[in-house]
Amino acid sequence: MSMERAEIQSLKMPMQMVPERKSKEAWVKTGYIGLLTLFLLIFLIPVVLIIINSFKDEAEFYARGVLSLPLKPSLDIFREVWQLVEFDVKLYNSLLISTAVALLGLLISVLNAFAIGIGKIKWGKFILAFFVFAMVIPHEALAYPLYYMMKMIGLYDTKLAVILILSVLQSAYGTYLLSSVFRTFPASIIEAAKIDGCNKWQILMIVVALNKPALSLLLVFYFIWTFNEFFLPLIFLVSNANQTIPLAVTLFQGQYTGYATMQSACSLLGILPCIVFFFLFQRTLTQGLVAGGLKG
**Residue 80 placed within a domain:** yes
Query: Which pLDDT score, from 0 to 100, does residue 296 have?
Result: 46
**Residue 226 placed within a domain:** yes
Residues 172 and 269 occupy one common structural domain = yes
HEC readout, 175-227 = HHHHHHHHHCCCHHHHHHHHHCCCCHHHHHHHHHHCCHHHHHHHHHHHHHHHH
Residues 41 and 136 occupy one common structural domain = no
Residues 30 and 163 occupy one common structural domain = no
CA 216, CA 204: separation in Å to the nearest integer? 16
Residues 130 and 267 occupy one common structural domain = yes
CA 35, CA 33: separation in Å to the nearest integer? 5
**Residue 96 placed within a domain:** yes
Residues 207 and 82 occupy one common structural domain = yes
Which residue numbers in the chain have pLDDT < 50?
A: 1, 8, 11, 293-296
Residues 46 and 89 occupy one common structural domain = no
Query: Which pLDDT score, from 0 to 100, does residue 167 have?
Result: 94
Residues 103 and 32 occupy one common structural domain = no
Residues 35 and 157 occupy one common structural domain = no
**Residue 65 placed within a domain:** no
Residues 10 and 112 occupy one common structural domain = no
Residue-wise pLDDT for 102-111, tens only, equals 999 999 999 9
Contact 139, 169 (CB under 8 A): yes
**Residue 87 placed within a domain:** yes
Residues 115 and 31 occupy one common structural domain = no
Query: Which pLDDT score, from 0 to 100, does residue 285 have?
Result: 67
CA 231, CA 52: separation in Å to the nearest integer? 30
Residues 162 and 291 occupy one common structural domain = yes
Residue 196 belongs to domain spanning: 76-295
Query: Which pLDDT score, from 0 to 100, does residue 11 have?
Result: 47
Domain count, the chain: 2
Residues 38 and 101 occupy one common structural domain = no
